[in-house]
A and B are shown apart, each in its own frame.
Chain A
Amino acid sequence: MITHNFDYKRPATLQEALGLLSDGSSKVLAGGMSLIPLMKLRLAAPECLVDIGRIADLNYIREENGAIHLGATVTHYQLENSPLLRSKCPLLSETAAHIGDPMVRNRGTLGGSVAHADPASDYPASLLALEADVVIAGASGDRTVTFADFIVETFTTVLEPGEIVREIVVPVEHSSAGYCYEKVVQPASGFAIVGIALRIRKEAGRIAEAHIGVTGLASKAFRAVAAEQALMNGSADPAAAKNAGALIADGVDANSDLYASPEYRNHLARIHGARAIAIALSRAQ
């Protein structure tokens, strides 16, 4: 539980941070909820930490041009309690409320979590369902990728050395949309054994739009395409929820740990998928 020796730098601006990262020997520190434990276990040994936590213009939640822009260092607590998100993108607030414990939510950040790409973290399910974008800052300027493209594999993203997640962009939801984040918590770690995020829009009693993101189940979060298709254009009733829920784990090579085998995980995904769909349907107007 003792880290290797490392340097620590705390830039005041994003430009300064990008400059410090340019030699490739540094790692970005935001809330430290994932990186610091890895360093204490000596699974990570960066030579230098560049702490972006005090960069003022990375911490914002604002609505612009029909989308909500979330700065990288926005904490889970801020997302959970933001009036803007609660009214215009409640799925993300609900997801943030399920993360870790109050200490983790007070320190941990959105950007840090997505950049770490833990396959059992909560956000990926919702960010897939929301079709979020990730804005990445680098020495040669910003680039934007979809969240689906951002995550490559377990603990791997498209971030190049020297790049920083600048912001996440999510859509403004229509107030009639239904949503739900349903999570089965691993009792030791608090991470998701399975987490399912739902966005549903109804039109005239039928389902016009369905987005389902699933985390915790596989080596990376994914869209439950078969379940989405089963819902689309169907009637918005409990039977639909059950039928679509059954498809959530289709073809998935599930993870396992001491608390849940692959078979049980897939089962939980189906059961909780159906429950999440039912809740989202009941919330949709």
Chain B
Amino acid sequence: MATTTTKTETLVGKRIRRREDPRLITGTATYVDDIQLPGMNHACIVRSPHAAARIKGIDAKAALELPGVVAVFTGADTKDVGPVPCGASLPGLRVPHHYILAIDRVYFVGHPVAVVVASDRYIARDAADLIEVDYEPLPAVADPEKALAPGAPAVHPEWPDNIAFTYQQKGGDTDEAFKNAEVIVKERIVSQRLIPAAMEGRGVVADWKSGDKALTIWTSTQIPHLVRTLVALMLGVPEHHLRIIAPEVGGGFGSKLNVYAEEALMGFIAMRLAKPVKWIESRRENFTCTIHGRGHVDYLELAAKRDGTILGMKMKLIQDLGSYHQLLTPAIPTLSVLMMPGLYKFQNIHAEIVGVFTNCVPTDAYRGAGRPEATHVIERMVDILAAELKMDPAELRLLNFVDNESFPFATATGLTYDSGDYAAPLKKALDIVEYHHLREQQKEARAAGRLFGIGMSTYGEICAMGPSPATPAGGWESATVKIEPTGTVTVMTGVSPHGQGEETTFAQIAADELGVPIDDIVVQHGDTAIVQYGIGTFGSRATAVGGTALYFALQDLKKKIKLFGAMLLQSEDVTFADGVCTCNKSGKTVTLQQIAGASYRAMTLPTNTEPGMVATRFWEPPNFTFPFGAHIAVTEVDRETGDIEIKRYVAVDDCGNIINPLIVAGQIHGGVAQGLGQALFERAVYDDDGQLVSGEFMDYAVPRAHMMPWIETEHTITPSPVNPLGVKGVGEAGTIGASPAIVNSVVDALSPLGVRHIDMPMIPETIWNLIRKGAHA
């Protein structure tokens, strides 16, 4: 029997240490590469060294002669496998057929051309070098603006203009707003291509049981159920015969919110050879073949009155799509457009997106997915306006924020902001840094010739994705709660956590609702054979949508617990609290454990009640949630070298109610690190021939612990009315807030030299060049 005891302490809101961590920090977690199956083959993929080329022939003879090589497959073998799916639909979207292995042409460096299957990983890799592919290189284009220029090489010959789609969004009357403007500021702002660089790359193991016609695929993914549906369609395997397992997933950041060629390819190989097969992505493949993020060139215009009132905004957004559409590629910039108004009340916007094919790996969702790009441009433009008007940037923001009385607030882009007090986090952050004092310090520093900057961003987000009509795959989420006969509790969530800590936070929610100790609860996820259908983890949705499904399942169970409690206590009038059902008249009690046992033993049952103690809920959110916050960065620039020192970083976030402050702080820290990386040194660089120059960690800088400033985190709490938990989501907030705060701070530092905008990454040489120019201006 379980030693179930009751508890009275509430756990929601407490800094509970992550229950996931012991296995992670003791090296006992099971990642895809830890899966070992008897007789398992190993695959190595031959990839194009050219960004554009015709394949004239493939000679695998030497590879096949190497002892240990089992098979080589090329596009001719796999051409009947369905295409890598694009889940986004836009009017007039051009969708190239995305074969899992190239047929007669390659479109980016890293494009899969053939696959070697061998008895071990080393032989497979050696054999890959023996495959001779006869390429006829073709002109390539790697820059989206160059791809739009007349005469540019066509990425896909059938669409010589390289335009995959154009998309317009209008709200209000932008022409009128710009006619009435007293001041208009314009800028071209780049959000450079980034490499998500999850600590664990991708990996796939596939196992075909021919007797059962059943395929199991282990894959490092954020969305096991969607992978199941889509890979079943690609392979023609009935969905109920396909099981997807996302074991421990070592980070995703959106890069694993996808369906990749390799997932279907390994399924194909396992079925063809009737043996299990494993493919583990190399870091080089992760850089060249897993999706990149961002990749915007944006042209902005902001119209305002001299008193600072913002009237309207225009944006032309050029999105570098890469060569194909992965799952959500074309949808990502549409999120930027939705987010354009930021936290401000102006109602006139006009956005035009041009989605451009380039001979590069596709872009897709990367932490924030469209919203960091939008926040970056709006927050940069507000600062540029403040400089133009010689207004304090904090005052300008406070003047234009949506008023507290206006919620729910309808934006010009068709969203309804749920709740907010946008001035609160900004005022709190300004207090923390002692803003007025800091500006005085800045005056003194400037008088002494120092380059001292104060920068802020006030961001909003679209989170808890989302209402199903507004999402590509359904935006609901599911949860099952089972109270086992001995009284312990199993939670099965449709979200697929991979670092976000829901094994802890969901257990906190369940422990409080059922009044049981957290150790009596286990949270399962990531296996389609165990967990009911779910959507997955992305878009800061897991707690707000998945946690809410859990909450409602727990309410259903509590009703059933009371029915059984009343039956056992022979009372009509019972309460259930702290894991105990009490007769309000006699004071007699039965424990949850006794009730659970009785529900399964079923000697007697309450009227119209089934045995067992299980509830499943699918919850459809009525709206997105809209977290917000204010970040302030204080920087000093070395006048001689261009080095940037972040002297202070303050993040005040409002993500609604907080389940676990420790995990929320971790999300902010990680998010700020990724925003800081973009602001200061990360960039995926393709040369004119489409070669990825920043192809390794030797050339692509990600932030390490010693590069990070101390992050001071604070919160304001404005509960969301969208869900009963009042939570909004926090997974992407740090990333969204960080890059504009840091860039605004450095621009502020250099403003005495006449600098008004700096594109990212602000590497020291760029800053040094600006200082040199400014000094000579």
Chain A residues within CB distance 8 Å of chain B: 1-5, 41-42, 101, 184, 186-189, 257-261, 264, 267-268, 271-272
Contacts and interface: CB of A to CB of B under 8 A. Distances in A.
Contacts of B450: none
B304 to A, nearest CB: 37
Interface in B274-307: 282-284
Nearest to A40: B282
Nearest to B707: A187
A257 B681 contact: no
A187 B701 contact: yes
B282 A257 contact: no
B694 A258 contact: yes
A42 B126 CA distance: 10
Contacts of B641: 184, 267-268, 271-272
B640 A271 contact: yes
A257 B122 CA distance: 32
Most chain A C-beta atoms within 10 Å of own C-beta, residue among B680, B685, B698, B699: B698
Contacts of A260: 765
Given A260-B765, A264-B765, A2 B699 contact: no
A259 B685 CA distance: 11
A264 B126 CA distance: 41
Given A188-B697, A259-B763, 19 more contacts: A1-B282, A1-B283, A2-B121, A2-B122, A2-B282, A4-B126, A41-B696, A184-B641, A186-B701, A187-B707, A258-B683, A258-B693, A258-B694, A258-B699, A259-B701, A259-B765, A260-B765, A261-B765, A264-B764
Interface in B82-135: 121-122, 125-126, 129
Given A261-B765, A271-B640, A101 B699 contact: no
A257 B765 CA distance: 11
Main secondary structure of the interface of B (DSSP, over half): loop
Contact of A267 (B126, B129, B694, B768): B768
22 contacts: A1-B282, A2-B44, A2-B121, A5-B126, A101-B704, A184-B641, A187-B680, A187-B681, A187-B701, A187-B707, A188-B694, A188-B697, A188-B700, A189-B697, A189-B699, A257-B699, A258-B699, A259-B763, A259-B765, A267-B641, A267-B768, A268-B641
A1 B284 contact: yes
Interface string B742-777: 000000000000000000000111001000000000
Contacts of B697: 188-189
Contacts of A257: 699
Nearest to B122: A2
Residue from A257, A259, A260, A261 with most neighbouring chain B CB atoms (10 Å)? A259
A264 B699 CA distance: 17
Given A187-B681, A187-B701, A5 B122 contact: yes
A188 B707 contact: no
Nearest to A257: B699
A2 B125 contact: yes
A272 B693 CA distance: 28
A264 B770 CA distance: 13
A1 B284 CA distance: 8
Nearest to B128: A2
A259 B698 CA distance: 11
Contacts of A5: 122, 126
A62 B278 CA distance: 51
